[in-house]
């Protein structure tokens, strides 16, 4: 890309955006991101971006609708300012859990979000560990799907000891847990089979795999209400797990999740910094793993037209 590299940030995760810009040895782009008195989002780009290769960093985390709208408005502003290429860098992609219809008269909101980003003028999307990898196919523009598992596995190795078993909290996460177990020197694998009684409520049924006397690592893509993790940890403790850790790509921490985690039989929870950590963790032991080096290298490679796949091979 011949245009100058520029990095801009919405309001959802400015610390991460600043860290990415610092690693790229670039100043964070100047933009006004605020609200009108009636609550509408207001954006103004305060510097020349004509022909530039622009990367807009914005997690669509809570408040999801506000942050998504901010991102769309920023992309539209950059498009109208004649930016050469606009990449939406979305560390946490909200609405990705609604990627299919499970009953009648439901939306496929992940597809709608993809359509909105393209309609606003995004020419590329970069994101981290989508809840459903199939969401990549909802876009007609390139999507760089980055993986947090190498970073999280490196962080976990510093605290794990003894015999380790990686646990998937449900059948749908087996592939993710298997990949993670290989990154932890071929740790053994276990699966919790559960009955989902509501979209964010689960009841564990059985644990398949030997966890007794072992250090268990529950691996998931995100922590929302904490119900899956809390119930899963309890099931593992009842079956004799020696220590229980949690590793998730995104720490959404909705509702009373922090209280749930604080009272669960957990040693520590590891998440990426795709979503800012709440100021008060209410006693939950949480460690954030930095993703800025990963995003900065991916941005550099995209700007220089180099391979992204090489980051994970």
Confidence band of 112 (pLDDT split at 50, 70, 90): very high
pLDDT, tens digit (0-9, with 9 covering 90-100), for 146-190:
999 999 999 999 999 899 999 999 888 999 999 999 999 889 999
Structure tokens at 131: 């809840």
100 is catalytic: no
CATH of domain 5-146+292-312: 3.40.50.2020
Q: Is the pLDDT of residue 293 over 90?
A: yes
Same fold, 5-146+292-312 and 149-289: yes
**pTM of the shown model:** 0.94
Q: Is the pLDDT of residue 59 over 90?
A: yes
C-alpha dist (Å) from residue 212 to 162, 165, 208, 241, 275: 12, 10, 12, 5, 33
Domain ranges of the chain: 5-146+292-312, 149-289
Pairing of strands 268-272, 286-289: parallel
Q: Is the pLDDT of residue 204 over 70?
A: no
Choices 3.30.70.20, 3.40.50.300, 3.40.50.2020, 3.40.1280.10: CATH for 149-289 = 3.40.50.2020
**pLDDT for residue 160:** 93
Q: Is the pLDDT of residue 53 over 90?
A: yes
Residues 6 or more apart in contact with residue 68 via CB below 8 angstroms: 60, 94, 95, 113, 116
Strand residue runs (E) in 215-259 = 215-223, 243-251
Rounded mean pLDDT of the chain? 94
pLDDT, tens digit (0-9, with 9 covering 90-100), for 217-247:
999 999 999 998 999 999 999 999 999 999 9
Q: Is the pLDDT of residue 310 over 70?
A: yes
Confidence band of 203 (pLDDT split at 50, 70, 90): low
Q: Three-state SS string across 173-194, please?
A: HHHHHHHHHHHCCCCEEEEEEE
**pLDDT for residue 279:** 87
**pLDDT for residue 170:** 87
pLDDT more than 90, % of the chain: 88
Among 2, 3, 28, CA closest to 16:
28
């Amino acid at each position: 890309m011949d245009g100058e590299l520029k990095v801009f940030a919405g309001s959802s995760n400015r610390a991460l955006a600043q860290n990415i810009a610092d690693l790229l040895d670039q100043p964070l782009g100047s933009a006004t991101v605020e609200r009108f008195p009636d609550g509408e989002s207001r954006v103004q780009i305060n510097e020349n971006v004509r022909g530039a290769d622009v990367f807009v960093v914005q997690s669509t985390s809570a408040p999801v609708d506000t942050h998504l709208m901010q991102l769309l408005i920023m992309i539209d502003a950059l498009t109208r300012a004649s930016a050469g290429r606009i990449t939406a860098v979305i560390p946490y992609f909200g609405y990705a859990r609604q990627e299919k219809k499970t009953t009648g008269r439901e939306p496929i909101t992940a597809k709608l979000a993809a359509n909105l980003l393209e309609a606003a003028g995004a020419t590329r999307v970069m994101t981290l560990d989508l809840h459903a990898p199939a969401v990549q196919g909802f876009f007609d523009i390139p999507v760089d799907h980055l993986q947090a598992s190498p970073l999280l596995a490196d962080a976990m190795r510093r605290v794990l000891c003894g015999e380790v078993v990686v646990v998937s909290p449900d059948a749908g996460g087996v592939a993710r847990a298997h990949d993670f177990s290989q990154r932890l020197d071929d740790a053994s694998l276990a699966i919790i089979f559960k009955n989902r009684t509501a979209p964010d409520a689960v009841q564990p049924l059985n644990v398949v795999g030997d966890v007794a006397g072992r250090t268990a690592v529950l691996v998931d893509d995100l922590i929302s209400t904490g119900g899956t993790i809390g119930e899963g940890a309890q099931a593992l403790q009842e079956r004799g797990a020696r220590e229980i850790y949690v590793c998730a790509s995104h720490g959404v921490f909705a509702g009373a999740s922090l209280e749930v985690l604080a009272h669960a039989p957990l040693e520590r929870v590891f998440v990426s910094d795709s979503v800012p950590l709440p100021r008060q963790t209410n006693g939950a032991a949480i460690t954030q793993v930095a993703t800025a080096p990963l995003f900065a290298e991916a941005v550099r490679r995209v700007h220089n037209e180099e391979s992204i796949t090489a980051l994970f091979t």
